[in-house]
Structure 1
Amino acid sequence: MFKFFKRVSTLVRSELNASLDKAEDPVKMLDQFMRDMAEDIREVETGVAKQMANEKMLKRKKDDVLTLIEKRQKQAEQAIEAGNDDMARRALEDKHEHEQQAEALTASWEQANADTEISRDKLAEMKKEYQEMKLKKDTLQARAESAKTRTKMNRTMSAIGSDESKQGFERMEEKVMQYEAEAETSEDLRTSRTLEDEFEELNSDKKIDDELAALKRKMGRE
């Protein structure tokens, strides 16, 4: 199982590199890889649990047979004390058969126990590697988000400082200056004197001169 997990881990890394090369979203890909690895761990945990259950069953059977062997030994001794050799013989025969069973069960249990210990160690190693990769995934995701932000900022700054943007500002500035010039021209037109205004002013000045001359004559100051 552990070798399979190792192959999966290698495949994850290779697919991640491929996804980056294809410009796929590494954040989403990393999340998917972690989900796949977590599922693999759950499957291995199920297998280890079955191994542990089998090991416990074999140990219980072995212990039961050993208990029975001890019982038959005592029964044989009891039969001899009672002077019943036939019963003692049958107890010893049954004891001998169970000793053979105990030998086979002991070997099976020892193998199952060794396999269970190895599987538990490998599972612990898998979980450790998973946590390490999870930490690395978090780091990679943070780096990816930071890179995206920097790229967006750089593109925005490049757009602001581009010739097209500058030309756009220059066009707007020219329009504003044109509006200002039009406003000044309209004010000049509004305050300019027409020919009628000049004649009216001339007639007004003549009236003042006539009135001034009449006043001087009246006062004898001509």
Structure 2
Amino acid sequence: MTSGSTQLATWFNGPVFSRARDIFAANMTELLDRAEDPARMIRMIILEMEETLVELRSSAARSIADAKEMKRAVGRLEELQIGWNDKAELALSKDREDLAKQALVEKQKAAEMADGLRSEMEQIEQVLRSYEVDITKLQTKLREARARQNAIAARIESAVARAKAREVMHGSRTLDAFAKFEVLERHADFAEGRAEALGMTGPKSLEEEIAELRAAEKVDADLEAMKAAIAARTK
């Protein structure tokens, strides 16, 4: 196997094709089900896809450049074959069969080199077809991942909003606040009850009523004495 063929085999089995195959085989739903943070997981998937797509296109560009260079080399080798053939004919016309054989040997070498390059060009064409298929598949997966990313982002945003609302309604802080409100309401009820109790007057006992009568009699007696003293002074 030539060095070019070895390089092509390396490309086929290299990290770019390996990563691309992994991505093509990946089931997005299964990946997201296993992920603790689906949004972060899909961002990582998209980033890896974008990086792999860039690498695939770069590798394809290098393969295209290699194929063009090989095509130019094949053209030069074909011209070289024509040149050695002409030289062989010239040598033979001059009865220099030995030189004609040497020229034909060089022509054969050029032909073998050209055939080797053509074989490698065919392999590069296969690589390029693989790149084209992989790039198309990867672009499809990338669109799918981006669509999932938008859907997941919307779902997470909605879930966070609902969680906040439920936390406000049923969370510990809200429950603690309402518990404090109830304590304050009980304090207010107690204060109001105490104030009302202070303003209440219950029924008088018998002793209290008799004591009030005696006090009233004394006040009446003092009042009559005061009237009599005033009348005596005026006379």
Q: Common fold, TM-score beyond 0.5?
A: yes
1:6-57 Cα distance to aligned partner (Å, 9 max, x none): 12x22x53232234xxxx3322333343344445546645654554454344
Amino acid at match of 2:159: A
CA–CA separation in structure 1 for the residues paired with 2:224 and 2:39: 96
> Contact 1:26–1:144 (CA<8 Å) still a contact in 2?
no
Output the CA distance in 2 between the equivalents of 1:188 and 1:74: 138
The aligned counterpart of 2:24 is: 6
**Distance in 2 (alpha carbons) for counterparts of 1:143 and 1:104:** 57
Q: Given the superposition, is the C-alpha separation of residues 112 and 167 from structure 1 closer, same or farther in structure 2, using an over 3 Å criterion?
A: closer
Change (3 A) 1:104 1:212: same
* Residue matched to 1:143: 155
Question: Counterparts in 2 of 1:123-202, with a 5 A limit?
Answer: 123-159=135-171, 169-185=181-197
**Which residue in the other structure is 1:15 paired with?**
31
Greater RCO (Cα-Cα under 8 Å, separation 6 or more): 2
User: Aligned runs of 1:36-185 on 2, under 5 Å?
Assistant: 36-38=48-50, 40-41=52-53, 44=56, 47-48=59-60, 51-52=63-64, 54-72=66-84, 79=90, 84=94, 86=96, 89=100, 91=103, 94-159=106-171, 169-185=181-197
For structure 1, the 5+ residue unaligned runs are: 190-194
Contact 1:62 1:102 in 2 (8 A): yes
Percent sequence identity over aligned pairs: 21
Q: Which amino acid aligns with 2:67?
A: E
> What's the offset of the Cα at 1:212?
5.4
TM-score, reference length from structure 2:
0.59
Pick closer, same or farther for the CA change 1:85–1:145 going to 2, 3 Å: farther
Question: Partners of 1:58 and 1:205 in 2: how far apart?
Answer: 142
C-alpha displacement of 1:209: 6.6
Distance change in 2, residues 1:124/1:206 (3 Å): farther
Please state how far the C-alpha of 1:133 moved relative to its aligned partner.
0.6
